[in-house]
Amino acid sequence: MNPKAVHIILLIIFFSGFFLRLGNYNLSSNKSIYYDDNGLQYFQESDSYYNYRLTRNLLEHGHLGDKIIDGKPWDLRSYYPPGVPVDYPPLLPYIAVGFYLILNLIGSVSLKEACLWLPTIISPLAGIIGFLFSRRISGEFGGFITGMLIVTAPLYVFKTNFGFFDTDMLNIIFPLLIVWLLFEAENTKTRKYKIILVGCSGFFLFLFSFAWNGWIYYFYIIVAALIYNLIKERNFDMILPFLLISILLIGIFNIRGFYSVILTPTQLGYLPGQDIWYPWPDSYKSVAELQKPTMEIFIIIISPLILLLGFAGLATTIHSKNIKSLTKSIIIIWTISSILSIFAGARFAILLIPPLCVLAGMFWREFENTLKNMLKGVHRQKIISILQLTLLSLIFLQFFSLFNLVSGSKPMYDDYFMEAAQWIDKNTPENAVIITDWGYGHFFASEANRPVVFDGRLAYIETLPIREYWYPPNLDPRIPTTARDYWINLALTTDNPTLSKNILRMLATSGDQAYLLLNNYTHNKKRASTILEETLASNKTIAYSILKRNGLSDEQAIKVLNYTHPSNPRPLILIINTETENQIIYTGANYQGNPYSIIENGTEKLVNKKGNFSIILTKNKTLIVNKNYRNSLIVKLLTGEEDSMKVFENKKIKIIVFG
């Protein structure tokens, strides 16, 4: 195929991916609630605000953190107090800042606007790389199939559309580039070029280690395939340059990544069902994208076309003699391990997209060759052309159906959230700490300019293998943990007002220090958590006697009390949104039958012991709530019993400030 035709194919692939991801851009005027005061659309979801905040830090401070502490950049708005050393892969913020600076050479663009547009530019490049790689195996049409399937893969589209500023845009580009270079190395006849190409592959793996914490998954896949190839062919020309370049660069420039290579396998013992967060609940089980998908969801997010062609390609590749050993073993291991990873959550289905799309191109090549051998005469090429057009029609049908879905995609945040964030920024002390549902933490940390107790990074599970080696001496490697999720939920739902307020003050002022100290004294995680809850449910005097009764010395008890009952609690901002309310308030089918009780002006009347809801009547409103939470802090806030603390309210958000 001549270069002009190749350029046209590249443009078709890129702009197909680009325009598909603009389906949710420039929402209609009746959806103006999704635009900020500067006319910019809000980001699609919470993680985008986390990435944006780190990118803004990079532009303003020269590093991803809010402050340098003991030589390390610290994030003082996540998991605060005490905050955490920045462990996040920095490549996306660096790319975004570079993109922003380039745009401002030719115009005036804000950093947020650059971040909104970046995924629509970066993610279609995966299709181009897929085409360039696949055409070397499957020919021009097979490569075109690969490229188009990548840019129209449903999960990849939804993870990289306009305003989805997250690392997913890079998570297909780098693996394809790394494997493509290994393929070229395996097929070159010159030893010098082979070593150079393998070294380049190792270099891009090094770059990938700065892009996504899941890079190590690909490292193990490639090393396994290289070892298999070494055993089979007794040739060190592939494995040695790859390991030398990748490990050396990672060891010098990405020490966290180097620790991860060595220490991640030590965490595999937790996989068979052990609870690494004991005695606290596993917050990760509540993350939707970490739930194992149903077969129906799996088919939808990958696409029936990719699955059909990809698995057909896998079947033909296993027996194919046209693909050399290393490339074949990488693609097979990549595909099988990606299938297994989906059992850890739907989000990992994205790992399966690139190998299946490459395999789809391989299938077409094998299928076309088979047809040519079977069909004779003048109609052979016509039949092949008809099949090509049919396949292209299916791909573009996938394109248009996805465009309609993307066009209905609305940002997670709107003017109500921004109004609340701006109120916090302007009307609360700078040392105040936000407590809210973890799913909204990133937004408020970014837009309200205040630290949050718990956010979408949850317990920073990615850092578990390396904490003891990478943390500074003043930070306990047992944190972050999921304990804060437990305490926040308990504070909102308990009927003990003392326990509620003490929990909130403890979290905002001292974080996990009380539990960590009790755990050190008792050497028993469960007992430490039980003592802490009993202590928090009491005033300071009774709490002291509880600690003494549990065997603590005077000095130890006083140290714990300084954390559980601080003399100078930090101001805290409690944010309640409609989603949290809906978990408490009953509607429709939830409250059929007779109520458990009716509460009017603080007086409760029992109606039916078998009822599952209570009706709360106040001067201003009537609420129907889960009977188990009828006397909880959150219900008192919603009914106005704690109205003296409520300082802001709109249609979706209620803000309560505790001094």
Q: Which residue has the higher pLDDT, 14 or 272?
A: 14
Give per-residue pLDDT as tens, 193-219: 999 999 999 999 999 999 999 999 999
- Percent of the chain residues topping a pLDDT of 90: 80
In this structure, are residues 358 and 146 in contact, taking their beta carbons and an 8 Å threshold? yes
d(CA 448, CA 348): 31
Neighbouring-strand partners of residue 41: 35
Per-residue confidence (pLDDT) for residue 83, from 0 to 100:
97
Question: 435 φ, ψ to 5°?
Answer: -120, 120
Write the Ramachandran bin of 496: left for phi over 0, alpha for psi from -120 to 50, otherwise beta: beta
Residue with tokens 């300019």: 449
Per-residue confidence (pLDDT) for residue 583, from 0 to 100:
83
- Percent of the chain residues topping a pLDDT of 70: 96
Buried/exposed code over 161-197 (b: 16+ C-beta within 10 A; e: otherwise) = bbbbbbbbbbbbbbbbbbbbbbbbbbeeeeeeebbbb
Give per-residue pLDDT as tens, 417-426: 999 999 999 9
Per-residue confidence (pLDDT) for residue 620, from 0 to 100:
75
Q: Quickly count: other Cβ atoms within 10 Å of residue 393's Cβ.
A: 10
Per-residue confidence (pLDDT) for residue 444, from 0 to 100:
98
Which of 203, 140, 213, 196 lies closest to 177, judged by CA?
203
pLDDT at residue 44 greater than cutoff 90: yes
| DSSP H or E stretch at residue 114 | helix 111-122
Arithmetic mean of pLDDT over the chain: 93
Taking each helix axis from N to C end, the angle separating 554-564 and 525-536, rounded to the nearest 10 degrees, works out to 70
Give per-residue pLDDT as tens, 492-519: 999 999 999 999 999 999 999 999 999 9
Ordered DSSP codes for 496-508: -HHHHHHHHHHHH
Ordered DSSP codes for 384-443: HHHHHHHHHHHHHHHHHHHHHHHHT---S--HHHHHHHHHHHHHS-TT-EEE--GGGHHH
| DSSP H or E stretch at residue 73 | strand 72-75
CA angle 508, 511, 514 (to 5 degrees): 125
Write the Ramachandran bin of 2: left for phi over 0, alpha for psi from -120 to 50, otherwise beta: beta
Per-residue confidence (pLDDT) for residue 272, from 0 to 100:
44
- Region 240-268: mean pLDDT is 91
Q: Quickly count: other Cβ atoms within 10 Å of residue 289's Cβ.
A: 13
Is 292 in a helix, a strand, or coil? Answer: coil
d(CA 195, CA 531): 61
pLDDT at residue 303 greater than cutoff 60: yes
d(CA 74, CA 87): 9
pLDDT at residue 273 greater than cutoff 60: no
Sign of CA dihedral 483, 489, 494, 497: positive
Give per-residue pLDDT as tens, 321-335: 889 999 999 999 999
Q: Which residue has the higher pLDDT, 596 or 104?
A: 104
Which of 173, 197, 182, 207 lies closest to 91, judged by CA?
207
Q: How many residues does the chain have?
A: 659
CA 566 to each of CA 480, 504, 505, 547: distance values in angstroms, whole numbers, following the listed order: 21, 11, 8, 16
d(CA 39, CA 415): 11
Per-residue confidence (pLDDT) for residue 351, from 0 to 100:
97
- Region 77-87: mean pLDDT is 97
CA 238 to each of CA 35, 199, 337: distance values in angstroms, whole numbers, following the listed order: 51, 9, 22
d(CA 361, CA 358): 5
Per-residue confidence (pLDDT) for residue 659, from 0 to 100:
67
Query: Model pTM?
Result: 0.95
Neighbouring-strand partners of residue 318: none
Which of 637, 621, 620, 623 lies closest to 595, judged by CA?
623
Which of 316, 310, 301, 309 lies closest to 335, judged by CA?
310
Give per-residue pLDDT as tens, 338-360: 999 999 999 999 999 999 999 99
pLDDT at residue 167 greater than cutoff 80: yes
Residue with tokens 């003082």: 76
Give the domain ranges of the chain.
3-24+121-263+292-407, 415-571, 575-658
Which of 90-94, 305-309, 472-476, 480-484 has the least mean pLDDT?
A: 472-476
